[in-house]
Structure 1
Amino acid sequence: MLDKSRVQRELMDCNRDKEISGVSISLHDGADLTHLCGTIAGPVGTPYEGGTFLIDIQLLSDYPFEPPKMQFVTRVWHPNISSQNGAICLDILKDQWSPALTLKTALLSLQALLSAPAPDDPQDAVVAQQASLHPFLPFLSFHLSLYIRDYRKFAGTARHWTETFAKTATLGIDEKVHKLVEMGFPQDLARTVLETVNGDENAALEKLCSG
């Protein structure tokens, strides 16, 4: 059975310093502790800077003895994250998970993954081809120029995706919340639902009306 008291403590701990850590967690549907929504701020100095990335989090009944199931909701261009479905290639979400780890630890690890892609262990082969470093680059100037050209393409694409998908979640979020509040929905619920649908006002309204 899911240890709900532990999950509640983890949520409180994660959100206590979210302005400093850049990660936070909210309830996905306002009530169920088995389905959560994580938020990651794009790391400074990376193509993801300025973006807000939403993570779908599902906890199995034997958590924390089994890792949380995490998946990017926000589309992201990264060699270790599927550009199609948001699946993540990260060892602590698989065989390197430990009950001593927490949801905050996992989100911080994802944030670190955005800072330091590992193209040699890709989830998305197309992205990895742009981000990978040729093993003979120190000796071959031709390949070095090729890598620089490819890396610039990778970084440019990642930055474009951040602008397109990761900044719409926070763009005008207060105005969208205000509109939903005027329609009669609670402010906290409106904000939470907007976050879970990546800032899509129409999807949020549909979800609020159906729930």
Structure 2
Amino acid sequence: MVDFARVQKELQECNRDFQVSGIKVMPKGEANLAHLLGTIPGPIGTPYEGGTFKIDITLPDGYPFEPPKMKFATKVWHPNISSQSGAICLDILKDQWSPALTLKTALLSIQALLSAPEPDDPQDAVVAQQYLRDYQTFLGTARYWTEAFAMTSSLGVEEKVQKLVEMGFPEDLVRTTLENVGGDENLALEKLCST
């Protein structure tokens, strides 16, 4: 059985220093702490810089003694992440997991993986080949995917706020909710309707 008291504590720890780390974790549904959504900022100095990446997190019954199941919900071009399914090739999400690790350390490790790809142990062979054979094209493609899938323009945010306010929700609540869900309008609407 999942240790939900520990999960609650981890969520608080993670979200407490959001301003510093940029890492956030929240329940995907109001009543389900076994299915979470994490967000990590793209590391500075990489083609992922400026992007906000969503990670789908499912906690198995054996958590924290079994690793959380994590995959990218945001499309990303990286040798160790499937461009199709979002599956992540990272040892601490498999056999190197320890109950001493937390959701936050796992997300920090994924963020570090974005900074330091390991093309010799790929999850996506096509991306790994491009990384090894034509690094400049890899950088351009990774940057393009970041801009296309992991960035929201400020204009888009204002349009989303306006749309949700027109549905009858208070503007302050709309802005806070949109920020909490990484700008995902549909997720924001779900949260607003369930409060």
Question: Quick check: 2:18–2:24 contact (8 Å CA) kept in 1?
Answer: yes
Deviation at 1:176, TM superposition (A): 1.7
Deviation at 1:7, TM superposition (A): 0.3
Which deviates more from structure 2 when the two are superposed, residues 14-23 or residues 38-47?
Answer: 14-23
| 1:155 and 2:155 aligned | no
| 1:111 and 2:111 aligned | yes
Q: TM-score, normalised to structure 2's length?
A: 0.87
Aligned to 1:57: 57
Amino acid at match of 1:31: A
Alpha carbon RMSD of aligned pairs, Å? 2.6
| 1:180 and 2:167 aligned | no
Question: Quick check: 1:181–1:190 contact (8 Å CA) kept in 2?
Answer: no
Question: Quick check: 2:88–2:123 contact (8 Å CA) kept in 1?
Answer: yes
Residues 94 and 177 of structure 1: CA distance in aligned 2, closer, same or farther (over 3 Å): farther
Aligned to 2:16: 16
- Residues 88-107 of structure 1: matches in 2 within 5 Å? 88-107=88-107
Q: Which runs of 5+ in 1 are unaligned?
A: 133-146
Aligned to 1:167: 151
Residues 22 and 65 of structure 1: CA distance in aligned 2, closer, same or farther (over 3 Å): same
3-state SS of 1:34 partner? strand
Deviation at 1:61, TM superposition (A): 1.7
Between the aligned partners of 1:185 and 1:173, the Cα distance in structure 2 is: 15
Deviations 1:188-208 (A, max 9, x none): 79537854xx73x4x448856
Residues 5 and 192 of structure 1: CA distance in aligned 2, closer, same or farther (over 3 Å): farther
Deviation at 1:30, TM superposition (A): 2.6
3-state SS of 1:28 partner? strand
3-state SS of 1:27 partner? strand
Percentage identity across aligned positions?
A: 65
- Residues 40-79 of structure 1: matches in 2 within 5 Å? 40-79=40-79
Deviation at 1:177, TM superposition (A): 4.0
Between the aligned partners of 1:14 and 1:206, the Cα distance in structure 2 is: 23
Aligned to 1:139: none
Between the aligned partners of 1:169 and 1:73, the Cα distance in structure 2 is: 19
Deviations 1:148-195 (A, max 9, x none): xx0000001000000100003876335424532442458379537854
Amino acid at match of 1:172: G
Residues 4 and 169 of structure 1: CA distance in aligned 2, closer, same or farther (over 3 Å): farther
Amino acid at match of 1:173: V
Q: TM-score, normalised to structure 1's length?
A: 0.81
Amino acid at match of 1:156: G
